[in-house]
Structure 1
Amino acid sequence: MASFFSKLFGGGKPEANDDSPAARGETVTYKEFSIAASPMRDGDQWRLCGVILKAVPGTDGQDDVQLERTFIRADLYTSREEAETFAVRKGQQIIDEQGDRLFADGAPTGRA
């Protein structure tokens, strides 16, 4: 019975599934960057979202640091697979337009 009330009133941990915005698809290498699609469920459709990643050398001989820039667009698709395909294309377009300027501020995370 406690499980029923926990689910009803939002107690407990949410279950991870492919509807989660954090669920990233396969990483695709493009130029010196990586792109990972991470579509978000929006009703019965999927919103185009993704992450552009770049490894930069750490300071004082430390391991590389992974910088990332997220992008979210208004485009909606009927399947997660279709949204992932177009997220990779959009990531490539952003890289072509902005390149290293995406990471010019040196911040570990941010928006593209």
Structure 2
Amino acid sequence: MGILSGLKSLFAGGESAPEPTEEAIEYKGFMITPAPIKDAGQLRVAATITKGEGEEQQVHNFIRSDLIPGRDECIEVTLRKAKMTIDQLGDNIFG
């Protein structure tokens, strides 16, 4: 990224809003909802990971640096990385 494009992204808000979310999937008691973010003509790996319901619900916004050109591939990578994070951190993902 050049200096000018970096400055432009600061004033333009950088990343755009997340795309409409996909269906949530359950994994080991966690719910993963992919939410790719448009960025520089590609899609950034992003999701919401939740556990529990109501007042007990915990939420983690999962955003990675990976940029993927296609939506289906981005969702596939997002799910794989979110599952790996859950395997490694478990409930510690929430803080």
Q: TM-score of the superposition, structure 1-length normalised?
A: 0.63
Higher helix share: 2
CA–CA separation in structure 2 for the residues paired with 1:41 and 1:27: 19
Aligned residues: 80
Matched, 1:41 2:22: no
Other-structure match for 2:48 = 51
Identity of aligned residues (%): 34
Other-structure match for 2:6 = none
Question: Against the structure 1 CA distance between its residues 22 and 80, is the aligned structure 2 distance closer, same or farther, given a 3 Å change threshold?
Answer: closer
| 2:52 partner SS | strand
Which of 35, 58, 63 is residue 67 of structure 1 equivalent to? 58
The alignment's C-alpha RMSD in Å is: 1.8
Can you give the 5+ residue segments of structure 1 that lack an aligned partner in the other structure? 1-18, 57-62, 106-112
Q: Deviation per CA, 1:40-62, whole angstroms, max 9, x where unpaired?
A: 00121101111111015xxxxxx
Other-structure match for 1:91 = 82
Greater Rg over alpha carbons, structure: 1
Contact 1:46–1:76 (CA under 8 A) maintained in structure 2: yes
Can you give the 5+ residue segments of structure 2 that lack an aligned partner in the other structure? 1-15
